[in-house]
Structures are given as structure tokens and as C-alpha cells.
Chain A
Amino acid sequence: AQSVTQLGSHVSVSEGALVLLRCNYSSSVPPYLFWYVQYPNQGLQLLLKYTTGATLVKGINGFEAEFKKSETSFHLTKPSAHMSDAAEYFCAVSEGNTGKLIFGQGTTLQVKP
């Protein structure tokens, strides 16, 4: 079975500061990994995904994540936070390309002026 753990349900950073949202996964097969962002009362928007190949994945809005198999991690980073980054972030894993996603608990990112 697969699972995802997001460390920290709430992260607060100052505008311009580094954003680091942590995600660890468990999977018995090579995983596909995803980060999604959700704004209040809206659906999910894909930030980035890792399938195979290069372990450093660049996404939209300046976000990137690095797949580290030895650490079973897929942490999301952004060098400089913007006020518009304040939202809920979800890490997810799937068994290959099945499309069936298992989500982490979510991390609320607060950006302070």
C-alpha cells in the first residue's frame, strides 16, 4: 500500500523567504509523485510531478521539488515566497501511471508581509 506524510500541517514564512514544504512517501513500486495547490473553495492545480528521469523537477510559479529515493522524500521548495502563494498544498503519490492518487494531509502555507 502507498501512503504520504506531509510534515507540518501549517507553515508560515515571510514574503521573500524560502518556502520548504516536506513530503515523505511510502510505496512498494516506483512511485509517481505530485504536488498540488488548492485555493479556498476551489479544485486542485498541479504544481509539478515526478514520473521518471531527472530527480529535480521544476514546476509552475517558481516551485520545484527533488525526488530522493534514499530518503523517500519529495520536498517542495520555492526560493522566494510571494503573498499569492498562501494556500493549501497537497503531496500525492500514485502507483505508476494509474492515475489513482493517494494524498497527504495537506500543509497550509501562510505568507506574512
Chain B
Amino acid sequence: GAVVSQHPSRVICKSGTSVKIECRSLDFQATTMFWYRQFPKQSLMLMATSNEGSKATYEQGVEKDKFLINHASLTLSTLTVTSAHPEDSSFYICSARGFRRDVSGNTIYFGEGSWLTVV
């Protein structure tokens, strides 16, 4: 089963509103979580790295005031798209890095992704 859960899997919001996407590690503590964006038929682009209890580190070109990332606990990171516009419509995927019981090594697990459509 899934070890990283994203919610919602699909969301439609009106232009100008904000929308929050959650990323949860289900059976392990994620010291670090990553947020990616994927446009249709394209690759994944890293947006930011978040560590529990500290500010996220954003990649060049990503607006930190538009894409707010909060990593409040070792099992939850949230991405809030503020004042969303149609061009923010995309597939957003998170990944979590941590140690799982009975799994050797520090492993990366991806969520199932969240489709955001801004109308």
C-alpha cells in the first residue's frame, strides 16, 4: 500500500482563491519532503525542499510567496497555492525521505500526486 498519501487527489478552484495540498508519510517519519510540479506530457520539476520545523528551500524561479510550504510535523507537509491562476493548473507530486521499519537505508517515497485545475 501507499506509504505517502496526498490529499486531495484532484481539486478544482476558482481563479484568485487559495488551495492547500497535503502530503503525509503514513508509517514513517519524514525528515525531508520535496514538492514537484509536472505539466502534462512533461517531466517533474523540483519546486522546493522542506525540512520539519524550518523554512522551505525553494528552487530558482519558484515564487515562495505564491507556493507556501509548511512542514509542521515529521509526517505532514502542505503546499498552499495562493491566489491561484489558470497557469498554476498542474500535477503536483510530493516525495518524502525517511527510514521505514524493516526497510534498509534512507529511502524516498512518492505520493500519488494531486491534480490542480484553476478555472
Interface residues of A (CB under 8 A from B): 36, 41-46, 51, 90, 97, 99-106
Q: Size range of the interface on B?
A: 20 to 34
Interface residues of B (CB under 8 A from A): 6, 32, 34, 36, 42-46, 49, 93, 95, 97, 105-106, 108, 110-113, 115
Overall SS of chain B's interface = strand
Apart from the given pairs A43-B110, A99-B34, A101-B46, 9 other A-B contacts in the complex at a CB distance below 8 Å: A42-B112, A45-B110, A46-B108, A51-B105, A90-B44, A99-B32, A101-B95, A104-B43, A105-B42
B115's contact among A41, A90, A102, by CB below 8 Å, is which? Answer: A41
19 contacts across the A-B interface (CB closer than 8 A): A42-B113, A43-B93, A44-B44, A46-B110, A90-B43, A99-B32, A99-B34, A99-B49, A99-B95, A99-B106, A99-B108, A100-B34, A100-B49, A101-B34, A101-B44, A101-B95, A105-B42, A105-B43, A106-B43
